[in-house]
Amino acid sequence: MISTKGRYAIRVMLDLAENDTGSYIPLKDVAARQGISKKYLEIIVKDMVAGGLLIGASGKGGGYRLVRKPEEYSVGEVIELMEGPLATVACLADGAVPCPRAEECETLPLWAEYDKLTHDFFFGKHISDLIRKDDSK
Amino acid sequence: MISTKGRYAIRVMLDLAENDTGSYIPLKDVAARQGISKKYLEIIVKDMVAGGLLIGASGKGGGYRLVRKPEEYSVGEVIELMEGPLATVACLADGAVPCPRAEECETLPLWAEYDKLTHDFFFGKHISDLIRKDDSK
DNA sequence: CAAAAACCTATTGACATAGTAGGTAAATAG
DNA sequence: CTATTTACCTACTATGTCAATAGGTTTTTG
C-alpha cells in the first residue's frame, strides 16, 4: 500500500511543475491548491529537500522549486525516498535478515517476480508523464 | 506489502498440495515442515476454513485438506481472503469514501494502472504454478 | 476413555500512519 | 531597519495493524 507520504509527494512535484513561475512557490499555495494541510506537507517537503528532489528558500519571496526537469524524475524515485525501498515482501527488502529458507522457498520466485514488476512500473514512469494535457472545459 | 498472513496462507496451501495423502493433514505437521509456529498458523487456517479454501476436521485423525484442486486456486484469491482487497492505494480500496478530487486527480490513473497490474498478476497465478517440479539433489 | 486434533477468546509489544501544535531562524519588501 | 513572510525544527498523540503468544474448550476416533 502506497501511503499518503508518497502520494502527496508526487502531487507536490506535479503542482510545482505545473505552476512553475521561474521562481520559488510558497508551500501555502501548494497546500491550498491540493487541499492538503500545510502543516502535514511541511513534514513531507522537508524529506524531499533532504533527498535532493526540491530546493527550499526561506524568507519573503521564498518557497520551493524543482531541482531537475519533470521528465528527469521517476515516480519510483520519489516513492522510495518517502517510503523506503519499494519492496513488496519483507524478505526482499533492503536490510532484511537473509531468510534461511530462501534456497528451498517455493514462494520466493513469485514475490521476486512481483517485486520486479512493481519496480519496473514505477521507475519507468516519470513526473512529466502524469501532467494532464487535456484541459478542456 | 504482503504480510505474513497472506504469505503463510500460500505456503499452507502448497504444503497441503504437495503432501496430499488423500486424508486430513494435521496442522502440527504443516507447522513443523514450514518452520512456522503452530499457534500462529491456527489463526490463519481458521480464516482459510471460514473463507472456503480449506476443510478442517476435528478429533484424532483430523487435520486440514484442500477443497479444490491446486490449479483451481488463484494466488490473488488467497491473498485477498487473508488481507482484504488487493488495493494499492486507499482511494481505490473497496469501501473507501469516494474521493471528491477523483475527477481532477492527476495521479489517480497511475494508481489505477498499478492496481490493475497487481490484480492481473496475482489472479493469473495459481497454487499449482508454484509447485517446484525440479527436486534434484 | 484417553489421546489427538481442531476450535475459541483474549492479550501483548512493537511499530507505522496521519496527522497536530507551537516555536525558531532566515531573508526580503517596503 | 523592521515587519512580514516564509522555511525549518522538535515534540507529541491518537489510532490502527502486525505478528504473535497464552490458555482453555470442544470434537472425534483409535
The pLDDT score that the predictor gives to residue A137 is 46
**Domain presence at residue B135:** no
Q: Over range A33-41, report the average pLDDT.
A: 96
> In which band, very low, low, confident or very high, does the pLDDT at A123 lie, cut at 50, 70 and 90?
very high
Nine-digit cell at B12? Answer: 499452507
Give Cα B131 distance to the centre of its chain.
Answer: 15
Query: Which one-letter amino acid corresponds to residue B62?
Result: G
How far apart, in Å, are the Cα atoms of A61 and each of A24, A27, A65? 7, 11, 12
Q: Which three cell numbers stand for residue A21?
A: 513561475
Select from A4, A90, A114 the Cβ nearest to the Cβ of B121.
A114
Residue B137 falls within a domain, yes or no? no
Helix (H) / strand (E) element for A32: namely: helix A27-34
- Confidence grade of residue B99 (pLDDT, cut at 50, 70, 90): confident
- For residue A20, is it within any domain? yes
Contact A28, A37 (CB under 8 A): no
Query: The whole model's pTM is what?
Result: 0.93
To the nearest 10 degrees (0 to 180), the angle between helices B27-34 and B38-50 is 120
Task: Give residue A37's domain range.
Answer: 4-85+126-130
Q: If you average pLDDT over residues A98-122, what whole number do you get? A: 93
> Which cell goes with B81?
481472503
Residue A91 lies in a domain: no
Quick one: average pLDDT of B7-19? 97
| C1' (C19) to CA (B107) span, angstroms | 22
Domain-embedded: residue B136: no
Answer yes or no: are the C-beta atoms of B88 and B115 closer than 8 Å: yes
Q: What is the crossing angle of helices A4-18 and A75-83, to 10°?
A: 140
**High-pLDDT (> 90) share of chain B, %:** 82
Instruction: Answer yes or no: is B60 within a domain.
Output: yes
Closest to A83 (Cα-Cα) out of B46, B122, B89, B47: B89
Q: State residue B95's pLDDT score.
A: 67
- Is residue B137 pLDDT above 60, yes or no? no
Residues 6 or more apart from B5 whose CB is under 8 A from it? B44, B47, B82, B83
Is A1 close to B110, i.e. CB distance below 8 A?
no
Q: What is the pLDDT of residues B64-85, one digit of tens each?
A: 999 999 999 999 999 999 999 9
Looking only at the bridges linking them, the beta strands covering B54-57 and A63-66 are unpaired
pLDDT in tens, B36-61: 999 999 999 999 999 999 999 999 99
- What share of chain A has pLDDT > 70, as a percent? 96
Average pLDDT over residues A61-84: 97
Kindly list the residues of chain A whose beta carbon comes within 8 Å of any beta carbon in chain B.
1-2, 4, 7, 10-11, 14, 35, 75, 87-90, 101, 106-107, 109-111, 113-114, 117-118, 121-122, 125, 130-132
Say which DSSP state A53 is in.
S
A14·B110 Cβ contact <8 A: no
Question: Residue B52 CA to chain centroid, in angstroms?
Answer: 12
The pLDDT value recorded for residue A93 is 81
Name the H helices within chain B.
4-18, 27-34, 38-50, 75-83, 108-124
Say how far A38 CA is from C18 C1', in Å: 13
d(CA A130, CA B107): 7
Residue A23 confidence class, pLDDT cut points 50, 70, 90: very high
Among protein residues, the one whose C-alpha sits closest to the C1' atom of C16 is A3
How close B109 comes to chain A (CA, Å)? 8
Cell representation of residue A46: 522537508
Contact between the CB of B42 and strand C at under 7 Å: yes
Stretch B3-8: mean pLDDT: 97
Residue B122 lies in a domain: yes
The answer to whether residue B14 sits within a structural domain is yes
**Which amino acid residue lies closest to nucleotide C5, measuring CA to C1'?**
B59
A133 by DSSP, 3-state: which? coil
Count of structural domains, chain B: 1
Q: Taking the C1' atom of D29, which residue's CA lies nearest?
A: B60
The CATH code of the domain that includes B122 is 1.10.10.10
Name the pLDDT band for B93 (thresholds 50, 70, 90): confident
Mean pLDDT of B113-118: 96
Percent of chain B scored above 70 by pLDDT?
Answer: 96
Average model confidence (pLDDT) for chain B? 93
What is the least distance, in Å, from the CA of A1 to any CA of chain B? 4
